[in-house]
Amino acid sequence: MTEKTRSANVDDGVDPTRRSMIKGAVIAGLAAASLPGPAESASTPPSRGAQPLIDPQTRFPNDQPTQAQVWPGLQRNMTPRPDCGETNYRGSGRLAGRCALITGGDSGIGRAVAIAYAREGADVAINYLPQEEPDAEEVIKLIRAEGRSAIAIPGDLRTEAFCKRLVAEAERELGGLDILVSNAGSGWFLPDILEHPSEKFDQVIKTNLYASFWLSKAVIAVMKPGSAIVFSNSVTAFLPSEAFLAYSATKAALVAFTCALAKQVAQHGIRVNGVAPGAIWTPMQVYFEAPANNVENLNALTPIGRMGQPVEMAPLYVTLAEGTSSFVTGSTWSANGGRQ
């Protein structure tokens, strides 16, 4: 037996089970060191050192001033503007070569997802209402700054004809479609059903639920195995609010739709999942005619002590779309600051 072999087998006084645990911890540590760190500037190279701990309570402010806008609202007119990762999301090629369609991609969560997808290597088409063009122009510039294709397709999702045209145009311009993020949503603060206009109920149902059905139907027909669909569900699906009757109903329906559709299309190699955000600082918070103290209430109701920012949602949408999440389908991931 050589000296090298003998030293490898000498009893070092460490219990074999503990030695195995230590070895596993070292391997896990090395693997973790290779993972991307917290969000940084897109141009910042990966850090080789330890990443600082970030207190989620103080990472973003919770003192948004009272403000209101006319529907559908513009992010550029909010104070402070939502953080969608414009300067602090750093990609690492997790979606390289993918082609994505994102509805509501001009602002809020949709904007954050569009920026993240582009920085992860995907080409992106965004849909939005014509009134939201100023916000959309900013997103298109940010996507193209990453060297990715960016397609702007304005239009109202409340008709099946437009949803079909949207998918067809996005697929044609991008050269394919393998990710759909059905994110656009609508909701109104209407605490009394006797004063709930039928036209607003119809608007919410068509935007949140019908559009998700129409878009899924159109995109699944052209998707290949390995593709992914991600729905923007909501905490209201699990904690329905009496003031958001139609919104809560549609989001609960979307959770069930997510699960059922995932089972139906699994045979095609297509995964379907959802993200259920809590209160997030987006234009919806300033247009849906809630009481003036709504922002203060939402900050107080969240255990972390503040509303979320769109950039905090983006990593979930990236993970659910990338190929390494191949066994994840039919799920809805909550991200609500601890509000259960």
- The domains of the chain are located at 95-335
Tell me what the mean pLDDT of segment 97-102 comes to. Answer: 98
Cα-based distances in Å from 320 to 224, 307, 315: 16, 23, 9
Question: Is it the case that residue 10 has pLDDT exceeding 60?
Answer: no
What distance, in Å, lies between the first and last C-alpha atoms of the chain? Answer: 61
| Cβ–Cβ under 8 Å, residues 273 and 320 | yes
Clarify whether 247 is annotated catalytic: yes
Chain mean pLDDT for the chain: 86
Backbone angles phi, psi at 5, to 5 degrees: -70, -40
- Alpha carbon distance 235, 2 (integer Å): 64
CB atoms under 10 Å from CB of 330, counted, come to 16
Q: Which residue has the higher pLDDT, 194 or 23?
A: 194
Confidence of residue 44 (pLDDT cuts 50, 70, 90): very low
For 9-31, b/e burial (b = at least 16 CB within 10 A) is eeeeeeeeeeeeeeeeeeeeeee
For 180-197, b/e burial (b = at least 16 CB within 10 A) is bbbbbbbbbebeeeeeee
Query: What pLDDT is attached to residue 257?
Result: 98
Which residue bears the tokens 């191949």?
326
Give the contacts of 290 (CB within 8 A, at least 6 positions apart): 189, 243
Confidence of residue 288 (pLDDT cuts 50, 70, 90): low
The identity of residue 78, as a single letter, is M
pTM: 0.84
Query: What pLDDT digit, counting tens, does each position of 209-237 carry?
Result: 999 999 999 999 999 999 999 999 999 99
Question: Is it the case that residue 186 has pLDDT exceeding 50?
Answer: yes
Query: What pLDDT is attached to residue 291?
Result: 59
Confidence of residue 42 (pLDDT cuts 50, 70, 90): very low
Residue of 89, 247, 287, 317 marked active site: 247
CB atoms under 10 Å from CB of 158, counted, come to 16
Least confident of 63-72, 77-86, 200-209: 63-72
Tell me what the mean pLDDT of segment 73-85 comes to. Answer: 91
The CATH class of 95-335 is: alpha beta
Most confident range (mean pLDDT) of 22-26, 28-32, 146-150 is: 146-150
Least confident of 21-35, 117-131, 175-189: 21-35
Query: What pLDDT is attached to residue 36?
Result: 41
Give the contacts of 313 (CB within 8 A, at least 6 positions apart): 109, 112, 113, 275, 277, 280, 335
